[in-house]
Amino acid sequence: MFFFIGNQLIAQTNLNNQQVDGYKGIWFTLGQFSEYGDKYSGGLGTYTAKHRPVAIYSDKANKTFFVYGGTTSARERHLLCMISYYDHHTGMVPKPTVVCDKAGIDDPHDNPSLAIDRDGFIWVFVSGRGRHRSGFKYKSRQSYDITSFVRVTEEEMTYPQPLWDDEKGFFNFFTKYTGVRELYFETSDDGRQWSPDIGLAGIIEDGAEKSGHYQVSGKDGDLICTFFNRHPNGRVDKRTDLYYAQTLDFGKTWTTIAGKNLDLPMKTVNCGARLIDYASQAKNVYLKDLNFDDAGNPVCLYVTSGGHEPGPGNAPREWRVTHFDGKGWQTSVICESDHNYDMGSLYIKGKTWTIIAPTISGPQEYQTGGEVAVWESGDEGKTWKRKKQVTKNSPQNHTYVRRPVNAENPFYALWADGNPIECSKSFLYFTDAKGKRIFQLPYEMTADFAKPKQIKYP
């Protein structure tokens, strides 16, 4: 098989552990079209919201390590699960490394997520797709080093969401396809020997039809939790409702926020975990992020809309936060945008909450992504104001703005761009907390290291 790396044609069957000469994001189309175009498409290197985290700042290394879905060239839609880092001391990035060459696959549903263990070894969790494409776990050969990885496992694992605890090890949320998307988790103290897969949620409708679920998860101290939605009768395009479940003992027992026990796997619509019945409001629910306030209470960021098809007919698409304030669950609306898959991230410091997301319509209206903006709340999510438009007059829509764990300036948010209407180059970007300094990662590299280009907007 032949691949382009830059302008060089290379005959190679596997690019694992090879460095490539620049940051080229994967372009993808789902191919599910309606009047206003594809359900989602474009530059999806930092896709999906269910692959998390994709970036982690390490204080010991003073680097932000990040993973993304790359490709060999703009002419090839050949998925490479990539890793790199931003060096906060030098302000430079190295040539990125291929962790897993997904030969023959062009689908960023197989994108990677990331974890770093207590000894500084970097773990890359590569998503599979249902039962016909395996997922993998890789470990770096050396601590805080991205030059070489060894495969540790091959398994059924989609949408990996690994969490690391210095005392207990790994806790990994993931999905299995059993005709629908069911939620599972697993644990390991060393990353090599794992517990059996434990079912978390597989709701069965009143008519004995299975639902399905998507989730976003997180960890704060001993608290591990997840927000998830429901796909009525397995119809992913009808995703709705908002659920919450938590564990304080690394998955041995699960409860509501009030401490009421939940039986696993959760199988009924009214299992005790449901927070909001959006089905009765005829609203779809698209999960974006999970974070914690200063008291350790969970907050979920998501978008609601009238349906799955793009275009004005399913407006309003409302960005919302649902937050436990210590007494009960509170929900507020932040803003509106023009597409269900406009994905951004939630940052919390004290009473100041910030969202960085492509909420402004971009050059490809009613398509995935748009222009990136910073929204801010000074009263713990009750009211919001747009503080800054980060990108302007862009030639392509910006997509899937992702929050690094322990985000550190200037690498505070990571995303890609792309033309959702036709196959295009996809560049990767990052910005600081205020959205004032925007950098583009080098698409082509000749030297081993390079400084990202700062983008100036008028």
Residues 6+ apart with CB under 8 A from 56: 64, 65, 66, 114, 115, 116, 404, 405, 406
Among candidate residues 152, 100, 104, the one with its CA nearest the CA of residue 126:
100
Residue 68 · residue 22 · CB < 8 Å: no
Q: Provide DSSP, 125-188.
A: EE--BTTTB-EEEEEESSTT--S-EEEEEEE--EEEEEEEETTTEEEEEEEEESSSEEEEEEEE
As given in the structure block, the two tokens for residue 406 are 């322990």
Residue 5 · residue 97 · CB < 8 Å: no
- Tell me the pLDDT of the chain (458 aa) as tens digits: 444 444 444 445 689 999 999 999 999 999 999 999 999 999 999 999 999 999 999 999 999 999 999 998 766 789 999 999 999 999 999 999 999 999 889 999 999 999 999 999 999 999 998 788 999 999 999 999 999 999 999 999 999 999 999 999 999 999 999 889 999 999 999 999 999 999 999 999 876 788 999 999 999 999 999 999 999 999 999 999 999 999 999 999 999 999 999 999 999 999 999 999 999 999 999 999 999 999 999 999 999 999 999 999 999 999 999 999 999 999 999 999 999 999 999 999 999 999 999 999 999 999 999 999 999 999 999 999 999 999 999 999 999 999 999 999 999 999 999 999 999 999 999 999 999 999 999 999 999 999 999 998 87
Query: For position 298, what pLDDT does the model report?
Result: 98
As given in the structure block, the two tokens for residue 2 are 């032949």
Query: For position 329, what pLDDT does the model report?
Result: 98
Among candidate residues 208, 184, 290, 199, the one with its CA nearest the CA of residue 242:
290
Query: For position 11, what pLDDT does the model report?
Result: 47
Query: For position 131, what pLDDT does the model report?
Result: 80
* Number of domain units in the chain: 1
Distance of alpha carbon 14 from the chain centroid: 26
pTM of the prediction?
0.96
For the chain, report the end-to-end CA distance as a whole number of angstroms. 44
What DSSP designation does 345 have?
E
Query: For position 209, what pLDDT does the model report?
Result: 81
Query: For position 13, what pLDDT does the model report?
Result: 63
Which residues constitute the domain of residue 62? 2-455
423 vs 11: CA distance, rounded Å = 24
Cα dihedral: 217, 223, 62, 409 (round 10): 60
Q: Could you give the angle at the alpha carbon of 63 between the alpha carbons of 347 and 301, nearest 5°? A: 20
Among candidate residues 147, 118, 98, the one with its CA nearest the CA of residue 58:
118
Alpha-helix runs per DSSP H in 217-292 = none
Among candidate residues 265, 251, 83, 256, the one with its CA nearest the CA of residue 169:
251
- 281: burial class by Cβ within 10 Å (0-12, 13-18, 19+)? exposed
Residue 140 · residue 134 · CB < 8 Å: no
Residue 343 · residue 337 · CB < 8 Å: no
Q: What share of the chain is helix, strand, coil (3-state, %, to 5)?
A: 5, 50, 50
Among candidate residues 127, 27, 38, 133, the one with its CA nearest the CA of residue 77:
27
Task: Read off φ and ψ for residue 279, nearest 5 degrees.
Answer: -60, -40
CATH number, domain at 230? 2.130.10.10
- 365: burial class by Cβ within 10 Å (0-12, 13-18, 19+)? middle
